[in-house]
Amino acid sequence: MLAGFAAMLAGTRTSRATAPLLFGYGPQSTALAQSDIESPDPAASAYTNPASACEPGTRLLAGHAYAWTDLTIDDRAMPLRGIAGTDLAFQLGRRIGRRWQLGGAVAAHLPDESLAQISFRPGSEPSFVRFEPSPQRAVADAVLAARYAALSAGAGVSVLADARGDVGFLLGQDGNGTYADGATNVELPYRLAPLVGVGVDLGPVGIAGRFRGAQAVGLDLATRADVSVTGNPLNGTTLVTVAGQSGYVPATWDIGARWNPSRELRLTGALQLARWSRAPSNTAEVTMAVRLGLSPGQIEARFVRPSLRDTVSPRCGVTWTARLADRPVDLRVGYAYSPSPVPEQTGLTSWADAPAHIIGVGTGVELGQAWGIALRADLAAQLWMLRERTFDKPSEVLPFAHYRAGGRLFDLSAAMEAAWR
């Protein structure tokens, strides 16, 4: 893993990728390859499993994740936009009586420098659908949870926003010469996705389930140009509309389990079903309506839905709690296999993806009490190794009739957590 990391740094351009969607939220989940559905860090429960948001205590998590990417098509580095960001989470739980617990949590992931990056590539160009552009946007989750005896349940929403509106400009001419004027009316309506989690804690074992609704940033932007200048070929109205769903993240169903064979050892496992088959086209629909003196004929391209495949991803993790200078230290390792949802390419589109082996390692150290606050530091690393995949289209004349996709991703995640009882 270290050798792979070193090779990546030596040969690749830096990139910054979104942590929670690919790598997990927070260092614990990153190290365990997202197998901790049943026993997440309570501070990260809003994202990982809402049912754990009622864990007694008050917790605040602040972390940062940074990833390097080395994705290639035909050995040529893909120009991915950066993905790295800050994790901020807060969880509050209280015990009510002997059997009840109530609580809530919020979790946010804020990419560095921008809250979202909405991007569409031309449909005929290759793109890694899983790694761009969904990683480049913020995540904001809020949940409430309750527990009665061994049963817990939580629910909430993940908040995002669409973008729609129009931009218009006028090029005109009056007695004083030409002039330009413009107007815009763009709004960002909310887009909510449901979050649901359940859990059963039977002491040394536990099982849990989680559902995260599908999410994307919808874009519907119209640009209108009204030109009325003597002798200009575009005199008239030109209307360009661009609409699409950027950065689609599928709905996921997770089921997880935990087994503590001893006080020091915890084994976790999970299965995730991702509903990629519901994915909309990741290219934008473009129309150009012109009403000019002479309106040219245009061809509008409509790219079909990608027909992605649902995937089932197994994950497992081991946490061993050691003691270092009388302080508990968690050592974590995780593995996951992530199949590719992208089917064979047969037409003008050239989506790239490959199955991946995912390995995570990490550690967490209790730093003790300071002025009434219990502090803990966590660190994790995760490596994605994509198994190179060759795409061969049925016809030689199709764009990118033959291409190979592969590469690696490497993520580092670190966080500090403060807890009050």
Partner 1 sequence: MQHVLWLRTVVHRLVRASRPAAAAALLLTYAPTSGASVWEVFGFGPEGVASVSAQAATANDGTSVFYNPGGLAMGRGTQIELSGTGMLSWLEAQGATQPIHDPAGGSLAVGSDVPLEGPLANRLRVGFGAYALPSKLMRLQMRPGTDPFFPYYDNRTQRLTVIPAVAVRLASWIGVGVGANVLAGVSGPVDVREGQSRGLETLLQQDVRTVAGWVAGLRVAPVPGLDLALAFRQRFGVPFHVITTANVAGVPLRVDVDTAEALYDPAVVVVAGAVQPSDRVRLELDGSWSRWSAWRGPLLSIDTTVSALSLASHSPEGLFRDTWAVRGAGHWWFAKSANAQLGTIAGAGYETSMLDTSARQGRTNFIDGPKLMVGAGTVAHFPGLIGRALSLSVGAQWQRVAATVQDKQVCTSVPCAPDTLVGPDTDRPGEGISNPGYPTLRGHGGVFVLSVGARVEL
Partner 2 sequence: MAVTLACARWVLVVSWLAWIPACGALGHDEPPGPVFRDARTGFVDGPGIEVCMDGTRVVAPSRAAGGALSFCVSPGVASRTCDDTTECAPGERCVCGRCGTRPCRNATECDAGEVCVGNRCASVCGSDTDCRAGETCSAGGCARRCSTQVDCAYGEKCSALDGTCIVKLCGEAVSCNVGEPCAPLERVADLREPHGMTWGGQALAFVEIRDGSACAVYRARVVSLRRWEVDPLQPVLAPENGEGGCVGAPSVVAEPGRLVMYASRGDGSAIVRASSVDGSTFLREPTPVVTPTEDWQGGWVGAPGAARFQGATRLFYQADRGRAIGLASIDEATGTLLDIRPTPVISPSMLEDPLFWRGVQRVTSPFAVERDGALLLYVAARGAEHSDAQVAAGGVYPADVNDSIGLLASRDLVAWDRFPTGPVLARRTNLRTYLGELEPAVMFLDGGAWLVYVGADASGVATTGLGLATSGP
Residues that bind partner 2 (CB under 8 A): 13-16, 62-64, 66, 73, 76, 78-82, 84, 86, 112-114, 119, 121-122, 124-126, 233, 236, 291-299, 348, 350, 367-368, 370-371, 375, 377, 395-402, 416, 418
Distance CA 409, CA 386 (A): 8
Q: Does 299 interact with partner 1 (rule: CB under 8 A)? A: yes
Q: Does 261 interact with partner 1 (rule: CB under 8 A)? A: no
Cβ count near 101 (within 10 Å): 19
Counting Cα atoms < 13 Å in the Cβ hemisphere of 137 gives: 23
Q: Does 215 interact with partner 1 (rule: CB under 8 A)? A: no
The torsion of the CA quartet 364, 110, 356, 250, rounded to 10 degrees, works out to 120
User: Is 229 or 331 the residue whose CB approaches partner 1 more closely?
Assistant: 229
CB of 82 to partner 1, least distance (A): 11
CB of 58 to partner 2, least distance (A): 16
**Phi-psi domain of 124 (left: phi exceeds 0; alpha: psi -120 through 50; beta: other):** alpha
User: Is 225 or 333 the residue whose CB approaches partner 1 more closely?
Assistant: 225
Query: Which amino acid would we find at residue 210?
Result: R
**Of the listed pieces 9-17, 34-42, 280-288, 404-412, which binds partner 1 according to CB under 8 A?**
280-288
In the numeric block, which tokens belong to residue 87?
């994790």
CB of 297 to partner 2, least distance (A): 3
Distance CA 272, CA 253 (A): 6
Distance CA 336, CA 355 (A): 11
Return the bridge partners of 167, or none.
184, 223
Distance CA 314, CA 359 (A): 12
- Let me know: does 166 contact 221? Beta carbons within 8 Å: yes
Q: Which does residue 318 bind out of partner 1, partner 2, none, counting CB within 5 to 8 angstroms by kind?
A: none
User: Is 66 or 384 the residue whose CB approaches partner 2 more closely?
Assistant: 66
Q: Which residue from 151, 259, 298, 394 is in contact with partner 1, where contact means CB under 8 A?
A: 298
CB of 415 to partner 1, least distance (A): 18
Q: Does 346 interact with partner 1 (rule: CB under 8 A)? A: no
- Let me know: does 148 contact 128? Beta carbons within 8 Å: no
Distance CA 32, CA 29 (A): 5
CB of 154 to partner 2, least distance (A): 27
CB of 411 to partner 1, least distance (A): 21
164-203 footprint of partner 1 as x/- string (CB under 8 A): -x-xxxxx-xxxxxxxxxxxxxxxxxx-------------
